[in-house]
Amino acid sequence: MPQPVFIVEALTKVYRTGDVEVHALRGVDLEIDAGEFLVLLGPSGSGKSTLLNILGGLDHATAGRVLFRDAELTAFSERQLTLYRREHVGFVFQFYNLVPSLTARENVSLVTEIATDPMRPEEALERVGLGARLDHFPAQLSGGEQQRVAIARAIAKRPKVLFCDEPTGALDSKTGVRVLEALVKVNQDLGTTTAVITHNVAIGQIADRVVYFADGQVARVEENATRQVAAAISW
């Protein structure tokens, strides 16, 4: 029986901008198991990004708590959160966020230099199929390639969890599939717990579980009896 990596209890998040209060999360309960591939689906403003930001140690909750393997993440200080991101979390962003002045290999090295037990940057890039493009700058790579560099950068430190916020949002279908393939491969090879946020319902088919968000709450959770291979889906 897999151990849960995250236990989320009654998580609430309220943003205040001026006089307006926005309830981004209204009491979310959720468990995420080790090695699980999770897809979070839902319309804009449904709260999925807010949850991911709190799980990723980027934001603080207003109420409720999050346990990360026995540690109470919601009680972490700013410094502890930085350390948590550094040691345990990998991020993949919609717009890749690579450092333009560093090559693919160097972008990965950026993270391996500060990690405790990283893989070699070359190995990380080979895992996402970019073994031949090590010394290219981001400006010399296509969008899909850049996103795979971002995945390599995220997994190079052997994180416990990998968070991807709309990783295919800026890519066409064909390129997006290659990125998803890379994510699935990492999940299977390394056993990294992976959570992917998307608007794209089709992507739900490659997950172990799909969590549907609506109005700051978990509307329902669906388990896929069989996971589709990424190559089989399109949009």
Partner 1 sequence: MSALDRKLLRDLWRLRTQVLAIAMVMAAGVATLVLAIGAYRSLDETRETYYERYRFADVFAQATRAPDWLAAEIAEIPGVAAVETRIVKTAIMDVAAMPEPATAMLVSMPAIGEQVLNRLYMRQGRTPDPERADEVVVNEAFAKAHGFVPGDTFHAIIDGRKRELVIVGTALSPEFIYALGPWDMMPDDRRFAVGWIARKAMESAFDLDGAFSDVSVKLLPGASEAAVIERIDTLLERYGGRGAFGRKDKQSHAFLDAELNQLAAMARVLPPIFLFVAAFLINITLTRLVALEREQIGLMKALGYRSSAIGAHYLKFVAAIAVIGVVIGGIAGTWLGFGLTRLYGGFFHFPFLVFQWGADIYAIAVVVTVGAAMLGGLRAVWSVVRLPPAVAMHAAAPVRYHKLFAGGWLGGLSQTSVMIGRHILRYPVRAGLTMLGVALSGAILVASLFAFDSIEFVTDFTYYRADRQDATLEFTDAQPARILNEVRRLPGVLSAEPMRAVAIKVRHGHLERRVAVVGKPRGPDLSRVLDTQFVPVAMPETGFAPSEALADILGVRVGDIVQVETLEGRKRIVDMPVTAIIQSYLGLLAFMDIDALNRLMRDAPMVTGVNLAMDAGRANDLFAAVKDMPAVGSVALQKKSLEKFKETLAENLAIMVSVYTGLAVVIAFGVVYNAARIQLSERGRELASLRVLGFTRAEVSWILLGELALLTILALPLGWFLGYWVAWIAAQGLQSELYRVPLIVSRQTYATSSLIVLGAAIVSALLVKRRIDRLDLIDVLKTRE
26-34, 131-139, 186-194, 222-230 -> range binding partner 1 (CB under 8 A): 131-139
Q: How far apart are CA 114 and CA 186, in angstroms?
A: 21
Q: How far apart are CA 86 and CA 169, in angstroms?
A: 25
Q: Which helix (H) or strand (E) holds 162?
A: strand 161-165
Least Å distance, CB 204 to partner 1, is: 21
- Residue with structure tokens 């009680």? 75
β pairing state of 193-198 and 4-17: unpaired
Contacts with partner 1 in 11-40 (CB under 8 A)? none
Q: How far apart are CA 204 and CA 188, in angstroms?
A: 17
Nearer Cβ to partner 1 (136/229) = 136
Binding-site size, partner 1 (CB under 8 A): 37
CA angle at residue 20 from 18 to 21, to 5 degrees? 115
Nearer Cβ to partner 1 (38/164) = 164
Of the candidate residues 139, 174, 223, 226, the single one contacting partner 1 (CB under 8 A): 139
Nearer Cβ to partner 1 (53/205) = 53
Contacts with partner 1 in 56-85 (CB under 8 A)? 56, 58-59, 79, 82-85
Residue 207 DSSP class: S
CB 122 within 8 A of CB 105: yes
**Which residues touch 223 (CB under 8 Å, ≥6 apart)?**
208, 209
Nearer Cβ to partner 1 (76/137) = 137
Least Å distance, CB 175 to partner 1, is: 17
Contact track, partner 1, 80-119, x by CB under 8 A = --xxxxxx-x-x-xxx-x-xxxxx--xx-xxx-xx-----
- With 0-12 CB in 10 A as exposed, 13-18 as middle and 19+ as buried, what is 50? buried
35-43, 53-61, 203-211, 227-235 -> range binding partner 1 (CB under 8 A): 53-61
Q: How far apart are CA 197 and CA 2, in angstroms?
A: 22
Contacts with partner 1 in 173-232 (CB under 8 A)? none
**Applying CB under 8 A, does 49 fall inside the site for partner 1?**
yes
- Longest CA–CA span in the chain (Å) reads 53
- In the complex, the residues that contact partner 1 under the rule CB under 8 A are 49, 53, 56, 58-59, 79, 82-87, 89, 91, 93-95, 97, 99-103, 106-107, 109-111, 113-114, 135, 137-139, 153, 165, 170
